[in-house]
Structure 1
Amino acid sequence: MLKQEGLYLPMFLLFFLGILSIIFSSYGIENMRENQPLKANLEQKRVIIVHGWKATPKMHWFPWLKSELEKRRFAAAVPQMPEPENPLLKDWVNKLSNIVGIPDQNTYLVGHSLGVITILKYLEALPGKQTIGGAVLIAGFSTPIPDMPRELNNFFTGKIDYKKISSSAKNFMVINSDNDPVVPLYFGELLSDKLDAAFIIMPGAGHIRQDEGFIQFPEALRSVVEISIK
């Protein structure tokens, strides 16, 4: 037993409190790390991959693309976006902004599905003449899609400024499937037209998820490499 201000505390209670302190401290440090900008050396280009609704960094082709980019000496990250089941645009844009840090011509973004509008809104909000090297927009949409879940309405308030977005990135690539059950091909066509972007149509690829067999996605890798050398 330990006497403290007239009260006896069992040793195990002090030990338990110490463990809790370590856990909460570690949690705080991990949270800080998850919100820090993606680092790269002077020779590296950075790629940040933004997942979609109800997704995680470990799903679909995201881990594969990150690994393949790192093999090619890119610095790459797939951040966990906040509350993917009930996302808020402002939180997602803030998260992306934190991971990007200072945008520059060696920064590239890859978005899938809801990650695409997140990237567009991030670029739209960039101050002044800040620009990035480019973006690859996959199975994305910039206006509400048919039967869109109510949880996503907050991503589509107000008019989108395509001119500002276009001026905030050097290159764009748009990739959509011709049989996407979630995002009809028209939305990819619209996006590529508004951004004057190269448009790649994937035949029979669905929503380009692991459910459709996409645990690897070479077309995304080729697109990132291509815009990074333009």
Structure 2
Amino acid sequence: MQQKAIIFHGTGANPEVCWLPWLRQQLTKRGYAVDVPHYPGLNVEPIDTFLPKVLANHSFDEHTVLIGHSGGAALLLAVLEHIDATARSAYLVAGYSTQPNTSDEPVLQSSYDWAAIKAHVRDLYFINSHHDPYGCDDRQGRAMFERLGGTQIIRDDGHFGDHDQPYETFDLLDKLID
């Protein structure tokens, strides 16, 4: 069965920003079927109405690798809680599970079933920075890691790409995905 990857962009972003196109190309070269959907409603529409649309647009199984950046990483928590399968792995880059700053965060659920999230993914990776301009920092990664286990990686790479932080490639992430 072919390995597949779904890469979720962050808040206000699209599939062509930062390292997303590069990672799509890297994984495609390695034989993955890669989907990088565009979700303009991410972190705009409330998760209760947004999540069913995301779940309806994708299939998940033991061959699925999930990657999310920022708001896309926060979305992965809800996806993993509500799927009826166990994904192979999930990579939450600059992810968060609680309000990271003063901005409205409709992508967040009011609470999480941590046991369900953990049951629906074999391997979890949390990649955060000490200093993230939006508060998606190592403390956010640690809070998720303490509830879910997995691997936490802490860098000093800001938000891992943004409108004012070019981040065209992401070698670490590419190496982590087997």
With normalisation by structure 2, the TM-score equals 0.91
Q: CA deviation at 1:99?
A: 3.6
SS in 2 for 1:86: coil
SS in 2 for 1:212: coil
Classify 1:179/1:80 alpha carbon distance in 2 versus 1 (closer, same or farther; 3 Å). same
Q: Which residue of 2 aligns with 1:22?
A: none
Classify 1:157/1:71 alpha carbon distance in 2 versus 1 (closer, same or farther; 3 Å). closer
CA RMSD of aligned residues (A): 1.7
Provide the C-alpha distance between the structure 1 equivalents of 2:30 and 2:23, rounded to a whole number of angstroms.
Answer: 11
Q: Which residue of 2 aligns with 1:49?
A: 7
- The Cα offsets for residues 118-166 of structure 1, whole Å up to 9 and x where unpaired, read as 1110111124xx211110110000111132x12x2x3334321111100
Q: CA deviation at 1:179?
A: 1.4
Identity %: 29
Q: Which residue of 1 aligns with 2:86?
A: 131
Q: Which residue of 2 aligns with 1:175?
A: 127
SS in 2 for 1:63: helix
Q: Which residue of 1 aligns with 2:46?
A: 88
Provide the C-alpha distance between the structure 1 equivalents of 2:5 and 2:111, rounded to a whole number of angstroms.
Answer: 28
Unaligned 5+ runs, structure 1: 1-41, 226-230
> Which structure 2 residues correspond to residues 62-141 of structure 1 after superposition, within 5 A?
62-84=20-42, 86-101=44-59, 103-127=60-84, 130-141=85-96
SS in 1 for 2:107: helix
Q: Which residue of 1 aligns with 2:147?
A: 194
Q: CA deviation at 1:89?
A: 1.7
Pair 1:165 & 2:165 matched: no
Q: Relative to total residues, which structure has the larger helix share, 1 or 2? A: 1
* Kept after mapping to 2: 8 A contact 1:82/1:92: no
- The Cα offsets for residues 90-125 of structure 1, whole Å up to 9 and x where unpaired, read as 454234323422x21101100111111211101111
Classify 1:214/1:194 alpha carbon distance in 2 versus 1 (closer, same or farther; 3 Å). same
* Kept after mapping to 2: 8 A contact 1:53/1:87: no
With normalisation by structure 1, the TM-score equals 0.71
* Kept after mapping to 2: 8 A contact 1:111/1:137: yes
> Which structure 2 residues correspond to residues 134-149 of structure 1 after superposition, within 5 A?
134-147=89-102, 149=103
Runs of 4+, deviation exceeding 3 Å? none
Provide the C-alpha distance between the structure 1 equivalents of 2:42 and 2:87, rounded to a whole number of angstroms.
Answer: 25
Q: CA deviation at 1:84?
A: 4.5
Q: CA deviation at 1:62?
A: 0.5
Higher relative contact order (CA 8 A, sep 6+): 2
* Kept after mapping to 1: 8 A contact 2:9/2:71: yes
Q: CA deviation at 1:83?
A: 2.6
Pair 1:185 & 2:117 matched: no
* Kept after mapping to 2: 8 A contact 1:116/1:140: yes
- The Cα offsets for residues 185-211 of structure 1, whole Å up to 9 and x where unpaired, read as 2001111221101011112x1111143
Provide the C-alpha distance between the structure 2 equivalents of 1:84 and 1:124, rounded to a whole number of angstroms.
Answer: 17
